[in-house]
Amino acid sequence: MLSVITPLMRIVEIPMLALQRLLGINRLAWVFLFPNLVLFGLFAFLPVILNMVYATTGGDNVLLADRPYVGARNFGFLTDCANFLDPNSCREDKFWRAVWNTTWFVTLQVGIMVGFSLLTAIILNRDIRARGFFRSVFFFPVLLSPVVVALIWKWILQREGVLNAFLDWAGIGGYNWLVDAQWAFAWSVFLSVWAHMGFYTLILLAGLQAIPRDVYEAATMDRASPWRVFRRITLPLLMPTMLVVLVLALIKGVQTFDEVYAFTGGGPGTATTFIIQYIYEEGFAGAPRLFGLAAAASLLVALVLVVLTLVQLWVNRKNVDG
């Protein structure tokens, strides 16, 4: 076997040695990195650069050559507000409605989801009957396509849906949930929590199982109450995992689009229009197609996501460093 491999290795070795002599050992690393850099450049860096270029152009043409340079005009349009808290005072009121909807959505969704995920993880970490079954049940929605999730809940919540049929049967009377702005928003939060909770439950469950058993045994011997055990042992030792979950959920929350778009279409009015839907509609669904404005808005979102990612990296590093 070796007699076959050795000559083959020599075939590779000869040009490599030549390259090493030509470039030097330090520069040779670039040769190995080159294929990866090309792919990464094409599919990651180039789109980012194109996005930046589009953000500084106007018109409704797709081809960059046909688009006039407008500098920071699109950013100016997006940030032209008398009062950032009142979308009606902004030139791009739909953008600011989407920003505030996203902020409220992320705050509620992440808070509720992390809370419920923690509760579920703690329950599933106990020695209960059919534990494996329940773990699967909570994780199952994560496997569903966002559109499927949206359609399931739409069928349940629409005027002639399952929930209203049940309420009618119970004599309570149905309600047009998805036509009411507050209810549509609340159900969007619920749907999102339902769809993603299983993923975060799984991470927290792994975090819980990593806590050494002997710490709990010592607390039991000291007759610590369950609440004290949770507050003084479980929560502090789970905090690094919790922080990772929190940052991941925040990033995912800001990116929310597909499931809510399929669920409510962003309505009623703009009640459930989030920032990614705003970008999609300005750039691709509306007329004229405002690629420049959409690109500028997506860069602002990217900026928020970069900050959140840096927070995650900082948290991770802090955990590793102890």
Partner 1 sequence: MTHLKLLGTTALVVGLAAPAMAQEIRFMCYSDGNECEVYDDVLTRFEADNPGVDVVVDVVPYQAILENLPVQLAAGTGPDLAKVTDLGGLNEYYLDLAPYVDAGYWEDSFGGTLDWYRGGPDRQGIYGMHSQLTITGAFVNATLFEQAGVEIPGSDATWEDWAAASRAVAEATGTPFPMAIDRSGHRVAGPAISYGAALFDADGEAILVDDGFTAFVQQFVDWHNDGTIARDVWAGQGGATYQDAAQEFINGELVFYYSGSWQVGRMDEQVGDFFDWQVVGSPCGPSGACSGMPGGAGLVGFEQTEHPELVAAVIDFLAQEDIYAEVTARTRNLPGHLGVAAAGVEFEGASPAAAAALAAFASDLPDVAPAAFAYQGYAGNRAMFGITVERISQAIVGELTVAEAMERASSDLAAAMAEQ
Q: Which of 208, 266, 279, 296 binds partner 1 (CB under 8 A)?
A: 266
Q: By rule CB under 8 A, what string of x and - marks binding of each residue 135-174 to partner 1?
A: ------------------------x---------------
Three-class DSSP category at 287: coil
Give the binding range for partner 1 (CB under 8 A) out of 58-66, 189-197, 227-235, 314-322.
58-66
Q: Residue 61 is encoded by which pair of tokens?
A: 């043409």
Give the binding range for partner 1 (CB under 8 A) out of 104-112, 161-169, 278-286, 301-309.
278-286
Q: Which of 2, 63, 170, 320 binds partner 1 (CB under 8 A)?
A: 63
Q: Which is nearer to partner 1, 25 or 63 (CB)?
A: 63
The rounded distance, in Å, linking the Cα atoms of 156 and 150 is 10
Q: Do 299 and 279 contact (CB within 8 A), yes or no?
A: no
Sequence-distant (6+) residues with CB within 8 A of 312 are 244, 247, 248, 251
Is 181 one of the binding residues for partner 1 (CB under 8 A)? yes
Is 71 one of the binding residues for partner 1 (CB under 8 A)? no
Residue 115 CA, chain-centre distance (Å), reads 17
Q: Is the dihedral of CA 140, 146, 149, 152 positive or negative?
A: negative
Q: Which of 271, 276, 299, 301 binds partner 1 (CB under 8 A)?
A: 271
Is 79 one of the binding residues for partner 1 (CB under 8 A)? no
The rounded distance, in Å, linking the Cα atoms of 273 and 40 is 32
Is 56 one of the binding residues for partner 1 (CB under 8 A)? no
Is 288 one of the binding residues for partner 1 (CB under 8 A)? yes
Neighbour tally for 156: CB within 10 Å? 16
Q: Which is nearer to partner 1, 18 or 46 (CB)?
A: 46
The rounded distance, in Å, linking the Cα atoms of 161 and 164 is 6
Determine which helix (DSSP H) or strand (DSSP E) holds 67, and give its type and residue range.
Answer: none
The β-bridge partners of 81 are 90
Q: Looking only at residues 226 through 265 of this chain, which bind partner 1 when binding is defined by CB under 8 A?
A: 264-265
Contact residues for partner 1, defined by CB under 8 A: 58-63, 88, 93-94, 97, 159, 176, 178-179, 181, 264-273, 277, 281, 284-290
